[in-house]
Amino acid sequence: MPEFCRLEVSEGVGTIRLDRPKMNALNVQVQEEIRAAATEAAERDDVRAVVVYGGERVFAAGADVKEMNDMSYTDMVKRSGALQSSFSTVARIPKPVVAAITGYALGGGCELALCADVRFAADDAVLGQPEILLGIMPGAGGTQRLTRLVGPSKAKDLIFTGRFVKADEALAIGLVDRVVPADQVYDEAVAWARTFVGGASYALRAAKESIDRGIEVDLETGLEIERQQFAALFATEDRATGMQSFVEHGPGKARFQGR
């Protein structure tokens, strides 16, 4: 049984719940439990969307510095790939994923939030990539995902300075997508995720893959990825259901089976 990170499922929404007191420090064990929870969420048919949540007090304050302090160069050469891939497992969940950010999302915590499709933050949340203050740099996707999200200049400002970003600035620069009162963050995230329960799951999967893969390539290649995904959806029952429902009843009334 996982000790610090588990998948909780309710009414079609899976919550990847971090629970390592006091600050959800992301040590090796937590990283591997995140990988397991994300893999389970991806594979379970009863999970149609995912919330990543660290609890009411904190999302995740970063890596376990005490653990890293004892690691040598060769130790980190062996570990760094697994660190990145554990977070990438969250990014590759083929379903809508929202991060519900409370308290601090710093370093690895911010990098974990970047793996979600969207980010909802408490109005008192604080985000940042302060690794430079430890004499290192982000190593779990921060230099890449943050840059793709907010652009190179803003990413360099945050990473070079290591400064903390409050929720209002995070919203202004596009680091988060919604700011809500702290006691409403998780409920808002679940409500967003629940809109996809009963949705056209293969179309959602295809759209997510087209966006995520397309942003890494040139426009022509991206358009070809989109074309192939679009055409493939005509092999699904949901496509037939959705179009027939539209013809007979108008938009937004189809009941999809995820097939």
Which residues are catalytic, by number? 63, 108, 111, 131
Give 24's strand partners.
Answer: none
State the CB neighbour count (10 A cutoff) for residue 36.
Answer: 16
Q: Is the dihedral of CA 141, 144, 145, 146 positive or negative?
A: positive
Angle between helices 219-232 and 201-214 (to 10 degrees): 170
- Secondary structure letter of residue 7 according to DSSP: E
Q: How far apart are CA 34 and CA 3, in angstroms?
A: 11
Tokens of 231: 């055409």
Interior angle at CA 109, CA 31 and CA 40, nearest 5? 40
Tokens of 102: 């409370």
Q: How far apart are CA 196 and CA 127, in angstroms?
A: 27
Q: How far apart are CA 256 and CA 242, in angstroms?
A: 7
Residue 146 · residue 158 · CB < 8 Å? yes
